[in-house]
Amino acid sequence: MKTLDEFIVEKQAEYPHAKGALTGILSSIRLVAKIIHRDINRAGLTNNILGISGVENIQGETQMKLDIFAHETMKKALMAREEVAGFASEEEENFVVFDTERGRNAKYIILTDPLDGSSNIDVNVAVGTIFSIYRRISPIGTPVTLEDFMQPGNRQVAAGYVVYGSSTMLVYTTGNGVNGFTYDPSLGVFCLSHENIQIPHSGKYYSINEGQYLKFPQGVKKYIKYCQEEDKQTQRPYTSRYIGSLVSDFHRNMLKGGIYIYPQATTYPQGKLRLLYEGNPMAFIAEQAGGIASDGQQRILDIQPTALHQRTPLFIGSKEMVEKAQSFMRDYPE
């Protein structure tokens, strides 16, 4: 069976401009995934991993202990790479400049949600790591600037996620399709298990926090009712499945067919998910697998970021289902 390392080397010829840089970055992310996998799998046995940290992040959310651990692990791993010039995380207010000679000469920046769905950790529910890679646009030889991190998602060089569930799986794209690698802990390697993943054109799952129903826009309410109506021609009603972890919900829908929705609401009018750490990387993966991603009105990857922790609504998954949801948003704009 082909390992992640073998696959990356095999595909490296497709990106001659990278000269092995992406290989090194992905190797660091692979290492981080193995470390987080190890600690998640023994979380119930150690007192210093589970529970809240008592600290809030920049979004005003209480950080879990494992949030901080994953963030620091990712930062240290990327700082050790000569290919990375800077780093931004959902868990840190400002971007981090790797202001060393090799950092100033590096060509890539990384954005990440180190531990998506971390509130599920204490109850042993699947969580994930999301990452996004861009080529810097500031001059080589200088420290990176905010402008490097404010690029629209359509400029991503690579993106991916790791889902820590019944098995640990790393899924990524470099703009030439999506491939998934399952971790074999007995060998300590990720092996190619899902080659050229394609999201079904339509599906039977819809994923949304229906407990917030009264706070949703009218278009979202109408779409939920549409999903629940019986129609044999369109194989409705659809089945509601919501884990509360973007990575886990999206991963299921990508393999089985479905839509994930985290819309704006009266309590978060701009949406709740982060454009740079969640929306853009997951949208890139979705499109490369044949799906689409929207904020309900426009393509996620075309949005020009204006803030490091900018929020966005997200409609993502099977093409037919997302397009239908968008039509409801157009027909019921209020």
DSSP assignment of 30-41: HHHHHHHHHHHH
Helix/strand/coil for 314: strand
C-alpha–C-alpha distance, residues 316 and 227, integer Å: 15
CA angle 7, 11, 15 (to 5 degrees): 145
pLDDT in tens, 283-314: 999 999 999 999 999 999 999 999 999 999 99
C-alpha–C-alpha distance, residues 79 and 221, integer Å: 45
pLDDT at 64 over 80: no
Reading the block at residue 256, the tokens are 């089985």
C-alpha–C-alpha distance, residues 133 and 281, integer Å: 9
- The pLDDT confidence band at residue 215, using thresholds 50, 70 and 90, is very high
Per the annotation, binding residues are: 90, 113, 115-119, 209, 242, 272, 278
C-alpha–C-alpha distance, residues 325 and 323, integer Å: 5
Burial of residue 260 (CB within 10 Å: 0-12, 13-18, 19+) is: buried
pLDDT in tens, 10-41: 877 666 555 578 888 998 999 999 998 988 87
Contact 91, 57 (CB under 8 A): yes
The pLDDT value recorded for residue 57 is: 54
pLDDT at 53 over 50: no
pLDDT at 65 over 50: yes
pLDDT in tens, 109-128: 999 999 998 777 677 788 99
Reading the block at residue 254, the tokens are 């990508």
pLDDT at 137 over 50: yes
Q: From the CB of residue 165, how many other CB atoms can be counted at a distance below 10 Å?
A: 17
Query: Which comes out higher in pLDDT, residue 258 or 27?
Result: 258
Give me Rg for the CA atoms of the chain.
19
Mean pLDDT score, 39-59: 59
pLDDT at 54 over 50: no
User: What are the Cα distances from residue 21, in Å, to 64, 129, 171?
Assistant: 32, 21, 19
Domains of the chain: 4-194 (3.30.540.10), 205-331 (3.40.190.80)
Place of tokens 């190797």: 27
Mean pLDDT of the chain: 90
DSSP assignment of 67-116: HHHHHHHHHHHHHT-TTEEEEEETTSSS-EE--SHHHHT--EEEEEEEEE
Nearest Cα neighbor of 148 from 133, 169, 163, 165 is 133
CA angle 59, 288, 89 (to 5 degrees): 20
Q: From the CB of residue 167, how many other CB atoms can be counted at a distance below 10 Å?
A: 12
pTM for the model: 0.93
Per the annotation, binding residues for Mg(2+) are: 90, 113, 115-116, 278
Per the annotation, binding residues for substrate are: 116-119, 209, 242, 272
The pLDDT value recorded for residue 207 is: 98
Give the type of residue at 194: H
Place of tokens 């839509």: 259
pLDDT in tens, 157-201: 999 999 998 899 999 999 999 999 999 999 999 999 999 999 999
The pLDDT value recorded for residue 40 is: 81
Break the chain down into helix, strand, coil percent, rounded to 5: 40, 25, 35
C-alpha–C-alpha distance, residues 82 and 159, integer Å: 19
Helix/strand/coil for 315: strand
